[in-house]
Chains A and B, each alone.
Chain A
Amino acid sequence: MKIFIIIPCYNESQNLVKVISQAKEFGEVVVVDDGSSDNSFQLAKNQGVKVIKHFLNRGQGAALETGDCYALAKGADIVVHFDADGQHVASEIPDLVEPILTGEADIVLGSRFLENKSKTPVFKKWLILKPAVFFQNLILGVKLTDAHNGFRALSRKALSEIKIKQDGMAHASEIVEQIKLKDLKYKEVPVTISYHEFGQGFISGLKILKDLLFGKINK
């Protein structure tokens, strides 16, 4: 069983080594360096994992799609999307992979609200994430408890069906839309998200909405 862990990275020299060393226990790590200006590329290389480099910064969605293309060509059975900033917990990768192995799901999405493992800031939870979840479920006709989590596992079937066209952060909504359109079996599992000072705020949310809207017009 070939499990590829795709880590898109942009100027993540601070956390990258730790993230890679923890993740590589659970599968073949592929780092997609999205045009970093720091030494992320070299740091990842030194870890002895596959590193693909975008010579220009194109966004997280674009980096994930590059990783997905590589994994697909390399015969991956399962692909895990994992953040480079250390907000995901590598030991939870088997929890995401499990439903795919049992045939229960084609794609497994991490949720920070299923068991409240994560200490989500109140403002972020109720003013950004919960409304985003509400509109996501309403518009896309899915039943999910979280939105824009980023920690997910895809089976080979899901990988071949889902093509990420949104270069920026809107890819997370695009994936959910593709799940519905391609009629893929999905499941959510509880995951822990460690919060940093950065992350997607209200303005990023508006940018995601704009990207999704123009993505529809400009196919």
Chain B
Amino acid sequence: MAKSTSKMDYLPLQIIVSLFVILVVFRLTKKYKDSALKISEFIGWLVIWIIILVVFWLPQTTSYLAFLLGIGRGVDLAVYMAILICFYLIFRLYLKSDKQQKEITKLVRHLALDKEEEFKN
């Protein structure tokens, strides 16, 4: 049974992931065309999703990279990278939300002071 964990067993998952990635890339392209994404953001996300596709179709590439980085198994490298990327994105989101909070405060202050008839910024 264990031996049958071959390429054939992977196939359904590979197809599902590929379809999902195609859908995401399609949406990314649309967002880029609608100017909702900057070119750097578009390329960044595109690279991430292509890497995911490569990892699912050619899992041995992670083993090769893992070996280069001194990590035992390819799957470990994938997990480490995923965790790192997730933490980084959470951090970025936090900073962005903090910045937006500051902007909201500025707006609230401006409106509050602007209401004072004699006080105009």
Contacts and interface: CB of A to CB of B under 8 A. Distances in A.
A70 B109 CA distance: 10
B113 A58 contact: no
A73 B95 CA distance: 31
B109 A69 contact: yes
A8 to B, nearest CB: 12
What 8 A-B pairs are tightest by C-beta distance, nearest first? A62-B105, A58-B105, A66-B109, A218-B95, A218-B98, A54-B108, A52-B112, A56-B108
Interface in A57-72: 58-59, 62, 65-66, 69-70
Contact of B104 (A32, A56, A66): A56
Interface residues of B, number: 16
B101 interface: yes
B99 interface: yes
A75 B113 CA distance: 15
Contact of A55 (B99, B101, B112): B112
Contacts of B95: 214, 217-218
A58 B108 contact: yes
A214 B115 contact: no
A32 to B, nearest CB: 8
B108 A55 contact: yes
Contacts of A53: 112, 115
Contacts of B116: 52, 70
Given A58-B105, A218-B99, A66 B94 contact: no
A106 B119 CA distance: 26
B37 interface: no
A198 B103 CA distance: 29
B31 interface: no
Contact of A66 (B99, B101, B112): B112
A62 B99 contact: no
Contacts of A70: 113, 116, 119
Q: Is the interface of B mostly helix, strand, loop or mixed?
A: helix
A167 B106 CA distance: 10
B102 interface: yes
A165 interface: yes
Contacts of B102: 165, 167
13 contacts: A52-B113, A54-B112, A58-B105, A58-B108, A62-B109, A66-B109, A66-B112, A69-B109, A69-B113, A74-B119, A165-B102, A214-B98, A218-B99
A157 to B, nearest CB: 21
B111 interface: yes
Contacts of B94: 214
Contacts of B108: 35, 54-56, 58, 62
A53 B111 CA distance: 9
Interface in A20-73: 32, 35, 52-56, 58-59, 62, 65-66, 69-70, 73
Contacts of A214: 94-95, 98
